[in-house]
């Protein structure tokens, strides 16, 4: 093991010497108790989709029946195996790689369908035992767990009862959260209630629920807002419960936030579209949580197609009264916004990207991370913030293994520049408490299957072989020097 570690460090130094240009952030500028980590989500990394009495989740169902063919050109890809991280031998090797990387925290999610296979009812003690052991193994390596309770993977049994459209989902989730807090509340110091409310629906539900496809895009989009409202309520109930249980850690919620810029700054229509898009992407979750109301124009646009969307004053009060202890932010890119009559509610952002080398999640603009952090500080009451995801996948060849190495210099440059942007925000007073790269390993990227890679560590999906990339060595160098 020692030889491997030394080789990794030496190799790292070699690669780092050719590292990306640009601002070199200094770890010393961040607080001493800062959480440095990598992130993952259960469905994307665990595999073992039927092990230890696991119930079926909507993603198990989706990938094994409908498939993700639209995006993987005829292949039906599943995460039945993915990068095999439910397996203890495998995850111990992965913990070793995290230890050598020098991070102090691992963000992962626990799947509801393992803990309560039918969503409500019987608790699966084998799964509980598995996560106790994982947490213990992480701690022995000096790595703290940061646990997401829900990362897109609703138990199928609950989807069949209407899923998040059913208001009972708030109680189902509260019950699941209670099981998690009772079992892990003393071992885990950071919980996240939800990862990215609404992205789950826009990306997947349109394809998974064919009966909706007959409705217009506007109506579908507007209806998804009922799901979002229920998730915000469920999150508030879980936060309330966590605080009532007097547990010693912190609980937050993670939003994907994308500063909105006009696609064409010279086009007045695009410029005008920015404000509505910002309400629909960012303020739609930030405003209820931190201000107790939904933003006006987004609300009107949604109610036009979904008149039933009428969050009550009591609901909004519950959300406002139970604010997260920290705001988790997943930041990848700003949204380049177009007025677009073909898109839901007349504005579009997905797929608009003017960069020459395209990144999967949008254009590369590290300064927008800085602007976003300052905006949250100034407009949303200066909350504690953790960057729960930041990372990149580029449409270039850099993720190929060549002579046993993966020279992902575009990703390395991206991470370096975003940490530098975070550093600047810390210097300007943002209460930033952590930073997590998405992801530790290449893994199953939802509707894109295995066709795009985000890892610091390359994974051969056939053999499960891991090869740390240049970005891994850069991060290691940054964390350890």
Nearest distance from residue 199's CB to ligand NOJ, in Å?
Answer: 7
For residue 391, the minimal CB distance to ligand NOJ (Å) is 7
No. of H helices and E strands in the chain? Answer: 18, 13
Nearer to ligand NOJ, 183 or 390 (CB): 390
CB of 276 to ligand NOJ, least distance (A): 23
In this structure, are residues 378 and 366 in contact, taking their beta carbons and an 8 Å threshold?
Answer: no
Whole-angstrom Cα distance, residue 373 to residue 385? 8
Distance from C-alpha of 36 to C-alpha of 434, rounded to nearest angstrom:
6
Q: Does 442 bind ligand NOJ (CB under 6 A)?
A: no
**Helix, strand, coil percent values for the chain (each to nearest 5):** 45, 15, 40
Site for ligand NOJ in 353-392 (CB under 6 A): 361, 389
- Residue 200 CA to residue 268 CA, distance in Å, equals 31
Query: Residue 224 or 389: which CB sits closer to ligand NOJ?
Result: 389
Which residue in 454, 472, 475, 478 binds ligand NOJ (CB under 6 A)? Answer: 454
Indicate the residue among 16 and 68 with the shorter CB distance to ligand NOJ. 68
DSSP one-letter string for 347-408: EE-TT----SS-BTTS---HHHHHHHHHHHHHHTT---EEEEEE---BSSSTTS-BTTB---
Residue 305 or 472 with smaller CB distance to ligand NOJ:
472
Residue 237 near ligand NOJ by CB under 6 A: no
Per-residue string for binding with ligand NOJ, 392-431, x by CB under 6 A? ----------------------------------------
Nearer to ligand NOJ among residue 30 and residue 438 (C-beta): 438
The distance of closest approach from Cβ of residue 322 to ligand NOJ in the complex, given in angstroms and rounded to an integer, is: 23
Burial 385-402 (b: 16+ CB within 10 A, else e): bbbbbbbbbbeeebbeee
d(CA 147, CA 445): 19
Angle between helices 217-244 and 284-291 (to 10 degrees): 30
Taking the least distance from each CB to ligand NOJ, the nearer of 414 and 454 is 454
CB of 180 within 8 A of CB of 114?
A: no
Q: What is the separation of C-alpha 146 from the centre of its chain, rounded to a whole number of angstroms?
A: 12
- CB 40, min distance to ligand NOJ, A: 8
Q: How far apart are CA 421 and CA 373, in angstroms?
A: 9
Label the pairing between strands 335-339 and 347-348: antiparallel
> What are the backbone dihedrals phi and psi of residue 383, each rounded to the nearest 5 degrees, phi first?
-75, 165
Decide if 236 contacts 319 (C-beta within 8 A).
yes
Q: Which is nearer to ligand NOJ, 227 or 330 (CB)?
A: 330
Residue 438 interacts with ligand NOJ (CB under 6 A): yes or no: yes
Residue 250 contacts by C-beta under 8 Å, 6 or more apart in sequence? 189, 190, 191, 325, 326, 384
**Shortest Å, Cβ 69 to ligand NOJ:** 19
Of positions 330, 390, 407, 471, contacts ligand NOJ by CB under 6 A: 330
Of the pair 167, 358, the CB lying nearest ligand NOJ is at: 358
Contact track, ligand NOJ, 186-215, x by CB under 6 A:
---------xx-------------------
Cβ distance to ligand NOJ smaller for residue 61 or 448: 448
Supply the minimum distance, in Å, between the C-beta of residue 39 and ligand NOJ. 8
Q: Which residues are catalytic?
A: 196, 389
**Cα(403)–Cα(405) distance, integer angstroms:** 6
Closest distance of CB 360 from ligand NOJ, Å = 7
Site string for ligand NOJ, 22-41 (x = CB under 6 A): -------------------x
Phi, psi (degrees; rounded to nearest 5) at 382: 50, 55
Q: Of 324, 95, 44, nearest to 190 (Cα)? A: 324
Minimum distance, C-beta of residue 327 to ligand NOJ, in the bound complex (Å): 15
* Tokens describing residue 273: 């579209």
Euclidean distance between CA atoms 326 and 192, whole angstroms = 9
- Interface residues with ligand NOJ (CB under 6 A) are 41, 44, 195-196, 330, 361, 389, 438, 445, 454
């Amino acid at each position: 093991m020692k030889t491997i570690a030394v080789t990794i460090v030496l190799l790292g130094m070699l690669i780092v010497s050719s590292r990306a240009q640009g601002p070199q952030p200094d770890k010393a500028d961040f607080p001493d108790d800062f959480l440095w980590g990598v992130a993952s989500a259960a469905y994307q990394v665990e595999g073992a989709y039927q092990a230890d009495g696991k119930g079926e989740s909507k993603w198990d169902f989706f990938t094994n029946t409908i498939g993700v063919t639209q995006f993987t050109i005829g292949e039906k890809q599943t995460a039945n195996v993915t990068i095999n991280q439910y397996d203890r031998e495998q995850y111990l090797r992965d913990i070793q790689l995290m230890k050598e990387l020098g991070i102090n925290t691992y963000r992962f999610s626990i799947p509801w369908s393992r803990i309560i296979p039918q969503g409500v009812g019987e608790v699966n003690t084998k799964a509980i035992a598995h996560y106790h052991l994982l947490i213990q193994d992480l701690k022995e390596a000096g790595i703290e767990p940061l646990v997401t309770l829900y990362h897109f993977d609703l138990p199928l049994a609950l989807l069949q009862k209407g899923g998040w459209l059913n208001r009972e989902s708030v109680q189902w989730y509260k019950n699941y959260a209670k099981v998690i807090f009772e079992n892990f509340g003393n071992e885990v110091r950071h919980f996240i209630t939800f990862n990215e409310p609404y992205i789950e629906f826009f990306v997947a539900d349109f394809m998974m629920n064919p009966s909706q496809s007959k409705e217009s895009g506007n109506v579908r989009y507007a209806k998804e807002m009922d799901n979002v409202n229920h998730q915000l309520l469920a999150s508030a109930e879980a936060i309330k419960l966590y605080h009532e249980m007097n547990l010693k850690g912190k609980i937050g919620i993670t939003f994907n936030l994308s500063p909105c810029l006009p696609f064409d700054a010279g086009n007045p229509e695009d410029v005008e579209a920015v404000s509505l898009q910002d309400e629909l992407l960012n303020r739609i979750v930030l405003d209820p949580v931190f201000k107790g109301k939904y933003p006006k124009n987004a609300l009107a646009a949604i109610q036009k197609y979904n008149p039933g969307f009428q969050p009550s004053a009591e609901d909004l009060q519950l959300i406002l009264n139970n604010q997260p202890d920290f705001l988790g932010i997943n930041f990848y890119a700003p949204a380049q916004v177009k007025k677009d009559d073909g898109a839901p509610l007349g504005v579009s952002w997905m797929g608009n990207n003017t960069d020459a080398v395209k990144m999967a999640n949008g254009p590369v603009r590290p300064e927008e991370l800085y602007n976003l952090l300052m905006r949250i500080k100034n407009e949303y009451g200066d909350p504690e913030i953790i960057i729960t995801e930041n990372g990149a996948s580029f449409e270039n060849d850099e993720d190929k293994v060549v002579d046993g190495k993966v020279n992902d210099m575009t990703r390395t440059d991206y991470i370096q520049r975003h940490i530098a942007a975070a550093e600047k925000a810390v210097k300007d007073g943002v209460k930033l408490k952590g930073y997590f790269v998405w992801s530790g390993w290449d893994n199953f990227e939802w509707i894109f299957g295995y066709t795009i890679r985000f890892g610091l560590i390359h994974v051969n999906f056939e053999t499960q072989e891991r090869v740390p990339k240049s970005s891994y060595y850069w991060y290691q160098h940054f964390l350890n020097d």
